[in-house]
């Protein structure tokens, strides 16, 4: 059976501690006085909060002690619901030091989604920023310990409650925390990341400590991050890319995280200029918003160096870069804590072009025939299956045999092939998952929500290509006879029920006779996608 393997994991350079708590202590010792975090809580015109690595470690330690004092033990699941702010970073590592398991929550969740994830994850403690943008997260949250959230024992909000939580841990001795941290192993549960998949509900991806720490050390090396790096990102930390590629990698490199709680293009441009950011991360639609902003032309972005020449940043008049750096030759998933294949970002442009990298140390990859399941040779296209040191332990509350095949490989639902140089080429999704603006959107989740729309008999969601978002969500809907339903009505119905990025950009009203069904009465997605594209083109 053909298996494409990377070098032995033991051959990978630059790998340090493989527990999240040990990782923080190692980088804090190495870079104690360097700046780790810069945060402007009231915008660029207000005061700035700056933490050193030693200060970050102190805050994480205080949070860990507070958790121990609150009864958090080994394996307790602690949910974290905040924007990209210093407390998020300190809490992530504080939870790990205490031996607990972090459940980072999506700040775009509406109340039903939040309730589902809190219940499904068995979170015992919720640490929350009560308000963010238009959200008041506690306004409709069910009582802790009630029938809707039976395992949730306590909710602590930033502010007075947060201060009280921390103060209660001040009597916990260093020796107790050190003993707890020493019992955390790389194989222990560390992190549950919820991601939309091909099911109606978000799936909880359970990772051991080794996965995010290995990726942090690895990204720092592959992205060529040095201690003078200053990173800004629009990626939220509750997603794998934000956690590993941004937060973890920057700290592994000894750099500074320039935090923006939520993305706003004007404020982002001010931060990029004033904080002399060197390494920015944003999705294409966010880059478009930056470039379209009135301040774009007047901002000095000359400190940027880890940018691609053909992107908005690379085209800025104050930025002067060649095609010498790009992270695009890479492939991964939430289930693999990001990358399983990659090339160094400064590899020659010719090596990076038209492929998604080489298999990384410790990883194994197969290309499976979609019909027979047999492993294919180089040059043959099929479904990508992966195994390796950063592969998830499994989905929460799902049996292992439903997650992995009998050889331990995870079937990704992605299509691709491996060329004669052992480089992976990812060619798209084999499933119907919609990838829009960097987020995964489950069509089934949208469709099941619209089942409750009183004016619709059917609603199907598909992804159509978009120049900056990758794909946009489009819903094809069939109205009940005698009901008048329009595009805005469908979108309005979804608001408050699902996260804003899942709400369709376009809604196409079709007749039932327009839908082509399979023998088991399922809608043919490929024909539905073509129908939606044609009808939108005709408008």
With pLDDT > 90 as the criterion, what percentage of the chain qualifies?
A: 78
Q: Both tokens of residue 54?
A: 């030693």
C-alpha distances in Å from residue 454, one per residue of 108, 445, 459, 538: 25, 17, 12, 28
Residue position matching structure tokens 């950063």: 390
Q: Are the C-beta atoms of residues 54 and 28 closer than 8 Å to each other?
A: yes
* pLDDT score of 259: 98
* pLDDT score of 264: 95
The pLDDT of 114-120, averaged and rounded, is 96
Residue position matching structure tokens 């839908």: 515
CA distance 449 to 434: 16
Average pLDDT, the chain: 93
At 53-90, the pLDDT tens digits run: 999 999 999 999 999 999 999 999 999 999 999 999 99
Q: Both tokens of residue 366?
A: 């197969």
Q: Where are the domains of the chain?
A: 434-538
Residue 127 CB-density burial (10 A; 0-12 exposed, 13-18 middle, 19+ buried): buried
β strands within 72-202, DSSP E: 77-81, 101-104, 125-128, 131-132, 135-136, 154-157, 189-195
Q: Which residue in 495, 490, 476 sits closest to 535, CA to CA?
A: 476
Confidence tier at 197 by pLDDT (50, 70, 90): low
C-alpha distances in Å from residue 476, one per residue of 289, 434, 454, 458, 486: 28, 14, 16, 8, 11
CA distance 496 to 452: 14
For the cut 80, the answer to whether the pLDDT of residue 526 exceeds it is: no
CA distance 95 to 429: 35
Q: Which residue in 128, 118, 65, 131 sits closest to 93, CA to CA?
A: 65
Opening angle at CA 421, ends 418 and 425, nearest 5: 30
Residue 307 CB-density burial (10 A; 0-12 exposed, 13-18 middle, 19+ buried): buried
| In this structure, CATH architecture of domain 434-538 | 2-Layer Sandwich (3.30)
Q: Which residue in 474, 473, 493 sits closest to 483, CA to CA?
A: 493
Gyration radius of the chain's alpha carbons? 23
Q: Are the C-beta atoms of residues 61 and 176 closer than 8 Å to each other?
A: no
Q: Report the Cα 508 to chain-centroid distance in Å.
A: 30
C-alpha distances in Å from residue 136, one per residue of 38, 53, 119, 133, 229: 26, 32, 19, 8, 35
Which residues touch 319 (CB under 8 Å, ≥6 apart)?
301, 302, 304, 307, 313
- For the packed helices 174-182 and 53-69, what is the interaxial angle rounded to 10 degrees? 90
At 269-308, the pLDDT tens digits run: 999 999 999 999 998 778 888 988 999 999 999 999 999 9
CA distance 251 to 234: 17
CA distance 441 to 461: 10
For the cut 50, the answer to whether the pLDDT of residue 521 exceeds it is: no
Q: What is the 3-state secondary structure (H, E, C) of 138-164?
A: CCCCCCCCCCCCCCCCEEEECCHHHHH
* pLDDT score of 199: 56
Q: Report the Cα 118 to chain-centroid distance in Å.
A: 18
The pLDDT of 329-357, averaged and rounded, is 95
* pLDDT score of 514: 82
CA distance 41 to 87: 12
At 227-270, the pLDDT tens digits run: 999 999 999 999 999 999 999 999 999 999 999 999 999 999 99
The pLDDT of 499-504, averaged and rounded, is 94
Bridge partners, 317 (sequence order)? none
Q: Which helix (H) or strand (E) holds 117?
A: helix 111-121
At 369-400, the pLDDT tens digits run: 988 999 999 999 899 999 999 999 999 999 99
């Amino acid at each position: 059976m053909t298996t494409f393997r990377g070098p032995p994991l033991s051959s990978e350079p630059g790998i340090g501690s493989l527990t999240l708590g040990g990782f923080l202590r190692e980088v804090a010792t190495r870079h104690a006085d360097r700046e780790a975090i810069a945060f402007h809580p009231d915008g660029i015109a207000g005061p700035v909060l700056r933490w050193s690595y030693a200060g970050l470690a102190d805050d994480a330690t205080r949070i860990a002690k507070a958790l121990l004092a609150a009864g958090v033990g080994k394996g307790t699941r602690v949910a974290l619901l905040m924007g990209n702010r210093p407390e998020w970073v300190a809490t992530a590592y504080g939870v790990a030091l205490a031996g607990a398991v972090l459940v980072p929550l999506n700040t775009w969740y509406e109340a039903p989604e939040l309730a589902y994830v809190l219940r499904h994850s068995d979170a015992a403690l919720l640490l929350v920023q009560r308000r963010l943008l238009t959200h008041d997260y506690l306004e409709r949250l069910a009582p802790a310990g009630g029938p809707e959230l039976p395992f949730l024992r306590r909710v602590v909000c930033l502010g007075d409650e947060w201060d009280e939580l921390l103060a209660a841990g001040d009597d916990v001795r260093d020796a107790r925390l050190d003993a707890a941290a020493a019992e955390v192993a790389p194989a222990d549960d560390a992190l549950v990341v919820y991601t939309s998949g091909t099911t109606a509900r978000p799936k909880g991806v359970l990772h051991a400590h080794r996965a995010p720490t290995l990726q942090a050390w690895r990204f720092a090396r592959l992205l060529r991050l040095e201690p003078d790096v200053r990173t800004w990102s629009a990626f939220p930390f509750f997603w794998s890319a934000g956690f590993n590629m941004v937060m973890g990698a920057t700290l592994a490199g000894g750099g500074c995280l320039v935090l923006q709680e939520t993305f706003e293009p004007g404020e982002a441009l001010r931060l990029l200029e004033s904080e002399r950011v060197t390494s920015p991360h944003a999705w294409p639609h966010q880059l478009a918003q930056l470039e379209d902003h009135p301040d774009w032309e007047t901002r000095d972005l000359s400190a940027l160096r880890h940018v691609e020449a053909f992107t908005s940043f690379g085209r800025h008049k104050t930025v002067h870069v060649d095609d010498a750096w790009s992270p695009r030759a890479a492939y991964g998933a939430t289930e693999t804590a990001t990358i399983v294949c990659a090339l160094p970002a400064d590899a020659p442009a010719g090596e990076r072009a038209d492929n998604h990298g080489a298999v990384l140390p410790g990883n194994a990859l197969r290309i499976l025939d979609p019909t027979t399941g047999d492993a294919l040779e180089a040059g043959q296209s099929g479904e990508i299956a992966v195994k390796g040191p950063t592969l998830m332990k499994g989905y929460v509350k799902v049996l292992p045999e439903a997650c992995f095949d009998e050889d331990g490989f995870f079937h990704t639902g992605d299509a691709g092939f491996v060329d004669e140089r052992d480089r992976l080429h990812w060619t798209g999704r084999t499933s119907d998952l919609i990838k829009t603006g960097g987020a995964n959107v489950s069509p089934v989740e949208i469709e099941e929500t619209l089942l409750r729309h009183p004016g619709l008999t059917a609603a199907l969601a598909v992804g159509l290509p978009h120049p900056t978002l990758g794909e946009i969500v489009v819903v094809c809907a069939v109205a009940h006879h005698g009901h008048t339903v329009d595009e805005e009505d469908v979108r309005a119905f979804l608001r408050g029920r699902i996260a804003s990025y899942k709400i369709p950009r376009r809604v196409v009203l079709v007749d039932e006779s327009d839908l082509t069904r399979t023998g088991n009465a399922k809608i043919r997605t490929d024909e539905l996608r073509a129908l939606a594209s044609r009808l939108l083109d005709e408008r």
